[in-house]
Structure 1
Amino acid sequence: MISDSANRIFEAAIKDYHVHDEIDFPIQNPYPPERIEHLLYLKCWIDTMQWHMEDEIRDPNINSDEALKWKRRIDKSNQDRTDTVEYIDSYFLDKYKDITPKADATVNTESPAWAIDRLSILALKIYHMRLETLRDDADPEHKEACQVKLDVLIEQQKDLSESIDELLKNIEEGKKIMKVYKQMKMYNDPNLNPVLYSSKQ
């Protein structure tokens, strides 16, 4: 099941990142570039870096120059994240390219890779919420509240994992159509963002 593999890889990537817990520490992806596992590890590493960038930009004492620096890094990270999701979908497009959908096959609300994207974020939420339940400086009420949230996140991870596996099974059986729309982000494109193309005039 792809979800079992993805969840294990996401957990490993998050654990590996927190060995050093530095946003700029270089990734050491243990999987060869041609394997789907490489993309899954990369995806979660990007998400983990960005999680901590989002923490930095929310510092109430941050100055405007520092905030702008983090905002631009987050924008770049978002683009890297989107690109990686599309690479993952390309893997599935190639894997299922010879599947002929049934006459009554339908399109899913999201592609497999975008569902896997949510699974990666869930792994991060679970990791950090679990830390909150273990904080020595937190009161019992905080820990209990976080444990309730953690239980919900774990249930959500289970449900989403099962849904992803079912989607891929349905694609293999021709019940769902493997269809992907590329993300058409406009704000980074100098030809589509009016602020950027106006500045060139």
Structure 2
Amino acid sequence: MKIQSAKIIRPIVTGFTLLLLDFLTKYIVNLKLPFEKVQQTFLPFLLLYRTHNTGYHFLFGPIENHFIWAMAGLIFVILLIASLVHTLMKEEFDHFNFTIYAVILSLTIGASGNVLEILIYGRATDFFIFKPFPWPSNLCDQYINAILYITLPIIIIRAMIDRKRQKKNLSVTDQSNSSEASSAPTGVSGETGHLKDRDD
């Protein structure tokens, strides 16, 4: 248990580092970048554009009572973090699965940046645009994207591969058992005949 607890510390520290990085970049951006003016960068697919999101989601549109939604989101994140920590401490994972769940834990902690900023300041700061996507984003959004589009698909694909491998192993085991069962009478018969010959 002590070894597992020591392993948990690293993803937690990494998660708070990601959260601090999210807040630090937003703080610098709010000091340095002009509000809602596009700034070109040396990367052709990246634009800097500072804006404040006070209650809008690019999937769901305008969101009323954003403070309530942020509080609900924070509660959900806390429950998710607690669940991940409990799972990592109790379950016996191999190195690959432990690493994936640890990465999800770190990203989940970092992804709480937006809801915390909304609760503290009443808005979330977005400051860059990835072409060809039209909406502004921030580091916290990218942590969420990494969970949804990288780690979760890896878990699903790995589970499918493991399930297929288990079915294959079961099939081989069943065939082996069937072979042993079918060969058993022949062996017994041969041994019986041999004994009869000896008796004669």
Could you say whether these structures have the same fold, taking a TM-score greater than 0.5 normalized by the shorter chain as the test?
Answer: no
Could you tell me the TM-score, scaled by structure 1's length? Answer: 0.30
- Name the structure where helix makes up a greater proportion of residues: 2
The structure with the largest alpha-carbon Rg is 2
